[in-house]
Structure formats: C-alpha cells, structure tokens
Amino acid sequence: MRFDKKRLAHIVFESDDPVSKKFDIILLIAILGSVLIAILDSVKDLHQAYGRIFYVLEWVVTALFTIEYGLRVWLSRRKLGYVFSFFGIVDLLAVLPTYLSIFILNTQLLVVVRALRFLRVLRVLKLGRYLRESQILAQALYNSRLKIMIFLGAVVTIILVMGTVMFLIEGPESGFTNIPMSMYWAIVTLTTVGYGDISPITPLGKMVASMIMLLGYAIIAVPTGIVTSEITVASRKREEELFSKRVCPTCHAERHDADAYHCKYCGTRL
C-alpha cells in the first residue's frame, strides 16, 4: 500500500475505524505502561533489582511518544494550533522529563512532571460515547460552580472559626499547637477523614468536636444536592430535546411525542 498522509492523519487523530481504534488502544497501553514504570521505579527494592530495565523501558516509551508527538505535529493542519492545545502540551510534557533527566540530576522533580503523563489517559475521552457523557458532567459541574463556591466559602469559614476556637480550648499540650495546625485538624474532622493523629482531650473540646463532626456529616448533603439537581436537569433537558416541537394547526397544542401523527388533543393530522 503506497503511502497516504491523509489516511495516516486519520489514523492518528480520529478513532472511528478499526485501524485508528487500534492505534488509540496501543497508545493507551504505552501510556499506562510508562506510568507504571515511574511508579514501580520509586520502590527502592524494585529500583535496585530492575532499575536498569526500567531505565531502558523508560527510553523506549519516550522514543515512541517522541515519534508520536512528531507525527501529530507534522500531520496536523494547523501545527501551532496543536502544539499549544491542551493535549499538545500534555504530549510534550510526556516526553520532556526523560530528555531533561540527562541534564537535570534531581530526578525527584521529573517524577512529578512524568506523573502528568497520566493526563494523556484523558485521550480516551475522544472515544465518542465517553465524550458526550463527560460533557454532560462538565456542564452540570459548570452550572453549579457558583453554588459550590458559596458552599466552599461556608466550609472555609467554619474551618477557620472552629479551628481558632479549638486552639483556644485545647491548647498546645493536646497537639493543637497553633491555629494552622488546629485548622488542619478541623479539616480532617469536618471531612470525616479522622486520622486521629490529633484529637481533642478536654471534655469541652470533645463537645465542640462532636458538633463539627455532626456538621460535616450533615452539610455533605449540600454539594451532593447541588450536583444531583444539576445532573437531573441536564439529563431532563437532553430528554426534552428528543421531544418534537410540532404545533397542532387546529388547537395549537404543543409537546406532541416524536412518534405522533395526529394531535392528541383535537385529532387533527399534524
């Protein structure tokens, strides 16, 4: 088969036919693999035992990603458009760290950047069905952003006030050494995480703590309510769009089902 740039571009950018789907899946495996290497390499024992192999694999994956990145730049119609797109930057961040590791010795820092590689998994969202669903979720979260910010504002206020109060009640000897520490405890408690590294000792402190717990236990209902209501609205909207918008010429009744041939109020042919 003679070379065909259009076809290649299709394989790389789309995912609506077997070949391009296969390309995406291979890519996903490579991405997950590269992340796995980064994780395992951080385990001392594994690093000592297989560090060499990880090192090689690291470069293999990087090579693949470099080629892929090159392809994408070369194949995309608007080159800069891709380079400065979200995925363009993510793709670049996926290969840079390994090359930088030659010059920079602080590998620690690179591990983080390499972690960003995981963002490439988002490419899966390209796969049609996921895209629509995630748009609905995104829409719902976007619509409820104001409400959620108000909620977070309230939570922060509670944390600050309660943190200060507990600092005054418990004092340093219980581990509430200062307000920031006391606020950290308030967060740990309000979110019902409850490490137990710091916990109130005085009876009064325990009473206030109980109040915070019950508060945190109850107010979780608020963000949940906000998001739920938005998601319900979003999906209802989608449903209604499937509704026909036809109007009856005789009685002007609206909201006929999509499969209606006659007005359900007066029987006129639609």
Which of residues 30 and 71 has its CB atom nearest to a copy of itself in the complex?
30
**Which runs of consecutive H residues, i.e. helices, occur in the chain?**
5-13, 18-41, 44-75, 79-83, 86-103, 107-115, 128-143, 145-170, 179-190, 203-219, 221-241
Which of residues 66 and 229 has its CB atom nearest to a copy of itself in the complex?
229
CB 41 within 8 A of CB 51: yes
* 192 in contact with a copy of itself (CB under 8 A): yes
Size of the site for a copy of itself (CB under 8 A): 107
CA separation (Å) from 148 to 9, 74, 216? 41, 42, 15
Instruction: Provide the minimum distance between the beta carbon of 162 and a copy of itself in the complex, in angstroms, as a whole number.
Output: 9
Instruction: Provide the minimum distance between the beta carbon of 30 and a copy of itself in the complex, in angstroms, as a whole number.
Output: 16
Instruction: Provide the minimum distance between the beta carbon of 36 and a copy of itself in the complex, in angstroms, as a whole number.
Output: 10
CB-side neighbour CA atoms (13 Å) of 43: 9
CB 169 within 8 A of CB 205: yes
| Ramachandran bin of 196, using left for φ above 0, alpha for ψ from -120 to 50, beta for the remaining angles | left
* 262 in contact with a copy of itself (CB under 8 A): yes
CA separation (Å) from 202 to 168, 207, 214? 11, 9, 18
Q: Which of residues 116-135 bind a copy of itself (CB under 8 A)?
A: 116, 118-119, 121-122, 124-125, 129-130, 133-134
Q: Which of residues 168-187 bind a copy of itself (CB under 8 A)?
A: 168, 177-181, 183-184, 187
* 230 in contact with a copy of itself (CB under 8 A): yes
From residue 71 to residue 110, the character string flagging contacts with a copy of itself as x (rule: CB under 8 A) and all else as - is -------------------------------------xx-
